[in-house]
Amino acid sequence: MITYFADPYASWQRASCENRNGMIRRYLPKRCTITMDMAREVQEIVDETDNRPMRVLGYRTPAEAFIDELLHLQA
């Protein structure tokens, strides 16, 4: 498997990741403690971010891209 690593302090090399982190920070600020009783809230955040279209994915959602990749691997 080909693996890529971004250089330290080079946020432009990991734009999608930084974008997702920014989305999550809207719901959970830095240093927010995530506890077991927050499972439903965390799942709602995951569902919302996984179902938001992304330009880098051809305006598909990450969930759609993941399913497409799984189907491609099974073929």
How does pLDDT run across 19-73, given as a tens digit for each residue? 888 888 899 888 889 899 999 999 999 899 889 998 888 999 988 999 999 999 9
Place of tokens 């927010």: 32
Q: How many domains does the chain have?
A: 1
Residue 1 counted as domain residue: no
Contact 60, 54 (CB under 8 A): yes
pTM confidence score: 0.62
Residue 53 counted as domain residue: yes
Residue 6 counted as domain residue: no
Residue 32 counted as domain residue: yes
Domain span at 38: 11-74
